[in-house]
Amino acid sequence: MTETTSRICTFRVNGLLLGLKVSDVQEVVKSQHITPVPLAPPIVLGLVNLRGLVLPAVNLKWRIGLQSTENDCGIHVVLRHGTELISLPVDSIEDVVTLDNHRRANPPENLHLSLRDACAAAWDLGNQLLLELDPERLIRQRDSENT
Amino acid sequence: MPCDEATHVCESIDEIMSELDETLREFLIEGHESLGQIEQLMLSMENDATRADAVSGCFRLLHSIKGACGFLGLRHLEELSHAAESLLASIRSGEIAAGTSHINWLLQAVDGLKKLLALIETDGSDNAGAATVSQILANRSSYSQQAEPAKTPTAPPVRISQEIAQFHPNPPSGTSIKHDDIPAGASMLAEATVRIGVEVIDRLMALASELVLARNRIMQASDQIEDAGYQAATRQLNLVTSELQEVVMRTRMQPIANVWSKLPRMVRDLSRQIGKQCRLDLEGGETELDKTLLEAIKAPLTHLARNSVDHGIELPSIRMGLGKPAEGKIVLRASHEAGQVTIEMSDDGRGIDTDRIRAKVLSQRLATSDDLARLSDSQIMQYVFMPGFSTADRVTEISGRGVGMDVVKNSIESLGGSIDLSSTLGTGAVVRLRLPLTLAIIKALIVSAGNSAVALPQAGIVELMRLEGERRTRALTHVGNAVYLRFRSELLPLIDLAKTMGIPCSQESDTDAFSVVVVHAENRQFALRVNKILDSQEIVVKPLPSLLKGIPAYSGITLLGDGAIALIVDPVGVARLAGLQGRRNQAIRDDSKTPELTKNTRPLLLVETTRNRMQAIPLESVDRLEVFPVNRLEHTDDTPVVQYRGGILPLYDTSGHPGCPFDAERWTLGTVSVVVHQTPHGLKGLVVARIVDTVIESVEETGGMTIIRGSVTQIVVPETWLAGVPQ
């Protein structure tokens, strides 16, 4: 960890500012159509066709315990997970920001459990808080679901 | 023109390839590859001569080149690789500490080997390479003089240089081969082959299919544009795209010889081991199949070959007595046929004795003699594919345990293929496998279920039907919530695809027309209800993302012509979801498939009584299921009986009070279905209107009522139900 800055791709879901490390993001695509998959676990919203590759679309709102809204604008962040790609529908894309690593902090304790579980870190941007998601934990089933 | 040149090169490569023996060609390709690797390793040795992995890596590669030389009769190549190998052996053992001079010579040797390979490629032999080899061997003095002393003082001083001194007392000097002497890029063959990872090819396939979709959209749009140049360009795009897709498909194909080349040796060793003489001939090894399929048929083919040797081919003495040659012959033949690959394994052994199968079926109580009398010889042979069935009198280490043919059948069928057995007693047996060319592309039906379109693999589909109006009413039978389809005098469970998979669908009325797909899978038939059959097409199978693995209803994903994603539905998985259990085939008892039971659940035989009520009989109390013609019923005082398996089977009717005799006088049908129950006092028959299915249900206690598939069902326990019956 010799680098002093991190580059984060930021986006919004239900007004919440979220981000992913640029190195985990392959691309951002617009007007993606999601094909629903019957019998799929709740974390899978459906499948999307990315230039001939079929990727699962992860239900981010469900995963982090947010209200699902009928705001299907078709913007997806395509996430690298090992050798697989995962599509993450978001409400809007914000920016790619370069942040000093000393501003990185643990996610606040009082976050909703399922959101905190999916977070890798929190970045204080001065006027707002950016929650950085952990790709690995994100696609795990929501732990609180078992109880 | 550069174009002409390219064609010329291709032609000359083709010529070379056709002239060269296949083995030699493979050797050359591998040889060029190995030499490339050796070169890399040697360069890394130069930086750090103690690198044991590099030394032994070179040694290993050279050793295999040398080994093949002896086999192919390439003397000079062998001599040179042997010399290089010996030096490496000394370096490896620590006798010689390798210095730059050694590496130089080794690289010279590698260059010489390359030159020889190029020579073999043009001449077919290395006869003209004598001068090259002797020159390089002579140059060994260049390092022997400067050999650095070995690190271990006890090691004998540079043994190899003594050897060389013996061969070449006066090594000529200044004869080192200049690099220019070796043709650059020494091999055309090596350049004609590139190894590519499967994932790259898969990606290419995906991109090619994506290009097809884009092409389709452009073709549609081009109708509106009246520009001759544009029209020509789209036509060109159309052709190129189709060809590109075809070529990309072909990259996955490999000749079948790759998997079966090991079989002749196995057959030879195996037959010696058991005192037989067998030979395996291969025909059509150039037949190409998808790589994944090749891997998948390796085990089944090996099994079939073992079977032929062990069961098919007779001992030499017996063969001689029959006037056959002492050496048994097994022929494995592959060919392309109607878009499929046929693999045939035939032997000239004793063939399959259907009488022995009959006897075995009887002794294992898999069927009654009445059943068998109705079956033709080819139907009898199907018993060979039953789990646990073997006609071998003894269990050998090779085969005869009765596991195998069923596994072979299942694995071939899971690949979308079929297996077929025929035999003439005394002259041999033929096993014929039919396989699709590739697993990546399958024929599928695109059907609509609810508001989704899904793909159903065509393998296993028996029939398609459209049911509407009167036809629909006639074809369907409702039992509680379950629906059955009348299909060729059989009742098949009808599974609603959309409902089972939870696909949302619009409200439907009882008179709506719908389509039915009859599927045969895992030894049973069932019917899938879908809204409509949309299309039949070849689809490219993509694997499920790992987040969706473990859903039994799906076997993959595909993209449709318009870019839409369709799930490939596995009918067997859907049947399981719908609660269909593998039916206990009336002719076969398959104990291995009995599901593990929890404390309160047990398998039940679901029957409809003569008064159209549902009843369930614990399967453990069911000995057999039989159908008797009514005219075989005989009457005693009050209970009708039939003669059955050498005894008397009294018939009772479970729709009445416990122990109620069957009222044959009121029975209007020509046959009766009977559940045979074994008691300590002999067999008893319970007459039912119909056998519905077997189900696994949790039953609170023996007897009483329960709800199965939405119908109130009476549990009948024959032991207690028949308790009052006089013995």
Chain A to chain B, count of Cβ pairs less than 8 Å apart?
57
Which of A49, A53, A139 is nearest residue B547 as measured by Cβ atoms? A139
Class of domain B255-436 as given by CATH = alpha beta
Q: Which chain B residue shows the shortest CA-CA distance from A57?
A: B547
Q: What is the mean pLDDT of residues B432-436?
A: 85
Q: What is the mean pLDDT of residues B141-164?
A: 46
Q: Looking at the complex, report in whole angstroms how far the Cα of residue A19 sits from the nearest Cα belonging to chain B.
A: 22
Q: Looking at the complex, report in whole angstroms how far the Cα of residue A76 sits from the nearest Cα belonging to chain B.
A: 17
The predicted pLDDT at position A29 comes to: 92
Copy the structure tokens of residue B105: 């010579």
Q: What's the predicted TM-score (pTM) here? A: 0.51
CB-CB under 8 Å, B557 with A54? yes
CB-CB under 8 Å, B503 with A54? no
Residues A104-121: tens digit of each pLDDT:
888 888 888 888 888 899
**Could you tell me the end-to-end alpha-carbon distance of chain A, in angstroms, rounded to an integer?**
37
Q: Which chain B residue shows the shortest CA-CA distance from A141?
A: B547
Whole-number Å distance between alpha carbons of B97 and B93:
9
Residues B537-547: tens digit of each pLDDT:
778 788 888 88
pLDDT beyond 70 at B719:
yes
Tell me the pLDDT of chain A averaged across its residues.
85
The answer, for A47 touching chain B at a CB cutoff of 8 Å, is: yes
Q: Looking at the complex, report in whole angstroms how far the Cα of residue B475 sits from the nearest Cα belonging to chain A.
A: 29
Burial group, residue B481, by CB count within 10 angstroms (0-12, 13-18, 19+): exposed
The answer, for B452 touching chain A at a CB cutoff of 8 Å, is: yes
Q: Looking at the complex, report in whole angstroms how far the Cα of residue A96 sits from the nearest Cα belonging to chain B.
A: 28
Residues B527-563: tens digit of each pLDDT:
999 988 888 877 878 888 888 877 888 888 988 877 7
Contact A97, A17 (CB under 8 A): no
Chain A residues 78-137 within an 8 A CB cutoff of chain B: 84, 86
Copy the structure tokens of residue A10: 């930021």
CB-CB under 8 Å, A55 with B559? no
pLDDT beyond 70 at B590:
no
Q: In chain B, which residues have their Cβ closer than 8 Å to the Cβ of A54? A: 542, 545, 557, 559, 565
Q: Which residue has the higher pLDDT, B512 or B19?
A: B512
Whole-number Å distance between alpha carbons of B174 and B674:
100
Q: Looking at the complex, report in whole angstroms how far the Cα of residue A52 sits from the nearest Cα belonging to chain B.
A: 5
The answer, for A31 touching chain B at a CB cutoff of 8 Å, is: no
pLDDT beyond 90 at A8:
yes
Contact B279, B329 (CB under 8 A): yes
The predicted pLDDT at position B600 comes to: 56
The neighbouring-strand residues paired with B704 are none
Radius of gyration from C-alpha coordinates of chain B: 36
Tell me the pLDDT of chain B averaged across its residues.
76
Q: Per mean pLDDT, which range of B156-160, B375-379, B717-721 is the poorest? A: B156-160
Q: What is the mean pLDDT of residues B84-89?
A: 83
Helix ranges (H only) for A64-120 are: 113-118
Copy the structure tokens of residue A76: 């997806």
Q: Looking at the complex, report in whole angstroms how far the Cα of residue A44 sits from the nearest Cα belonging to chain B.
A: 7
The answer, for A140 touching chain B at a CB cutoff of 8 Å, is: no
CATH number of A5-139, picked from 2.40.50.180, 3.20.20.70, 1.25.40.10, 2.10.260.10:
2.40.50.180
**What is the percentage of chain B residues whose pLDDT exceeds 70?**
80
* CATH architecture of the domain with range B2-192: Up-down Bundle (1.20)
Same fold, B255-436 and B591-721: no
The predicted pLDDT at position A143 comes to: 43
Whole-number Å distance between alpha carbons of B338 and B321:
42
CB-CB under 8 Å, B206 with A38? no
Find where tokens 């000749």 sit. B255
Q: Which chain A residue shows the shortest CA-CA distance from B502?
A: A38
pLDDT beyond 70 at B5:
no
CB-CB under 8 Å, B207 with A51? yes
Q: Which residue has the higher pLDDT, B93 or B320?
A: B320
The answer, for A35 touching chain B at a CB cutoff of 8 Å, is: yes
The answer, for B530 touching chain A at a CB cutoff of 8 Å, is: no
Q: Looking at the complex, report in whole angstroms how far the Cα of residue A67 sits from the nearest Cα belonging to chain B.
A: 22
Q: In chain A, which residues have their Cβ closer than 8 Å to the Cβ of B501? A: 38-39
Contact A85, A55 (CB under 8 A): yes
Q: In chain B, which residues have their Cβ closer than 8 Å to the Cβ of A60? A: none
CB-CB under 8 Å, A53 with B548? no
Whole-number Å distance between alpha carbons of B701 and A145:
35
**Residue B403 banded pLDDT, cuts 50, 70, 90:** very low
Q: Per mean pLDDT, which range of A115-129, B8-22, B694-708 is the poorest? A: B8-22
Q: Which chain A residue shows the shortest CA-CA distance from B553?
A: A39
**Residue B168 banded pLDDT, cuts 50, 70, 90:** very low
Find where tokens 């696609």 sit. A139
For an interface test with A, the pick among B447, B448, B547 (most A C-beta atoms closer than 10 Å) comes out as B547
Q: What is the mean pLDDT of residues B620-647?
A: 82
CB-CB under 8 Å, B547 with A58? yes
**Residue A47 banded pLDDT, cuts 50, 70, 90:** very high
Whole-number Å distance between alpha carbons of B471 and B543:
39
Q: Looking at the complex, report in whole angstroms how far the Cα of residue B561 sits from the nearest Cα belonging to chain A.
A: 11
Residue ranges of the domains in chain B?
2-192, 198-251, 255-436, 441-577, 591-721
Q: Which fold has domain B591-721?
A: OB fold (Dihydrolipoamide Acetyltransferase, E2P) (2.40.50)
Residues B347-393: tens digit of each pLDDT:
888 888 888 888 888 877 777 777 777 777 777 887 777 766 665 55
The answer, for B542 touching chain A at a CB cutoff of 8 Å, is: yes
Q: What is the mean pLDDT of residues B501-522?
A: 78
The answer, for B447 touching chain A at a CB cutoff of 8 Å, is: no
Find where tokens 């005219």 sit. B631
**Residue B582 banded pLDDT, cuts 50, 70, 90:** very low
CB-CB under 8 Å, B547 with A48? no
Residues B239-262: tens digit of each pLDDT:
898 888 778 877 878 888 888 777
Residue A8's φ and ψ, nearest 5 degrees, are -120, 135
| Torsion sign, CA atoms B194, B195, B200, B202 | positive
The neighbouring-strand residues paired with B682 are B679
Q: Which residue has the higher pLDDT, B44 or A80?
A: A80
Q: Which fold has domain B441-577?
A: OB fold (Dihydrolipoamide Acetyltransferase, E2P) (2.40.50)
CB-CB under 8 Å, B545 with A84? yes
The answer, for B546 touching chain A at a CB cutoff of 8 Å, is: yes
Whole-number Å distance between alpha carbons of B336 and B344:
11
pLDDT beyond 60 at B12:
no
The predicted pLDDT at position B308 comes to: 85
pLDDT beyond 60 at B408:
yes
CB-CB under 8 Å, B206 with A53? yes
The answer, for B446 touching chain A at a CB cutoff of 8 Å, is: no
The predicted pLDDT at position B420 comes to: 84
Q: In chain B, which residues have their Cβ closer than 8 Å to the Cβ of A38? A: 452, 501-503, 553
CB-CB under 8 Å, B209 with A56? no
CB-CB under 8 Å, A53 with B547? no
Residue B37: in which H helix or E strand, if any?
Answer: helix B22-47
The answer, for A41 touching chain B at a CB cutoff of 8 Å, is: yes
Q: Which chain B residue shows the shortest CA-CA distance from A55?
A: B545
Q: Which residue has the higher pLDDT, B126 or B321?
A: B321
**Residue B314 banded pLDDT, cuts 50, 70, 90:** confident
For an interface test with A, the pick among B200, B544, B565 (most A C-beta atoms closer than 10 Å) comes out as B565
CA-CA-CA-CA torsion for B582, B587, B593, B594, nearest 10 degrees?
90
Q: Looking at the complex, report in whole angstroms how far the Cα of residue A55 sits from the nearest Cα belonging to chain B.
A: 7
Q: Per mean pLDDT, which range of A11-15, B58-62, B277-281 is the poorest? A: B58-62
Whole-number Å distance between alpha carbons of B83 and B100:
17
| ipTM of the prediction greater than 0.90, yes or no | no
The answer, for B52 touching chain A at a CB cutoff of 8 Å, is: no
Residues A52-72: tens digit of each pLDDT:
788 999 998 888 888 877 666
Copy the structure tokens of residue A75: 């913007």
Q: What is the mean pLDDT of residues A75-79?
A: 93
Residue B719: in which H helix or E strand, if any?
Answer: helix B718-721
Give the DSSP letter string of B598-658.
-SSEEEEEEEE-TTS-EEEEEGGG--EEEEEEGGG-EE-SSSEEEEETTEEEEEEETTSST
As a CATH number, domain B198-251 is 1.10.287
CB-CB under 8 Å, B548 with A37? yes
pLDDT beyond 60 at B610:
yes
Residues B51-83: tens digit of each pLDDT:
677 787 888 888 878 777 776 778 888 888 888
Contact B80, B136 (CB under 8 A): yes
The answer, for B565 touching chain A at a CB cutoff of 8 Å, is: yes
Q: Which residue has the higher pLDDT, A89 or B201?
A: A89
pLDDT beyond 80 at B283:
yes
Q: A3-12, B35-44, B181-190: which has the highest mean pLDDT?
A: A3-12
CA B474 to chain CA centroid, Å, is 40
pLDDT beyond 50 at B178:
no
Residues B204-216: tens digit of each pLDDT:
887 887 787 778 7
**DSSP reduced 3-state for B29:** helix
Copy the structure tokens of residue B323: 């006037």
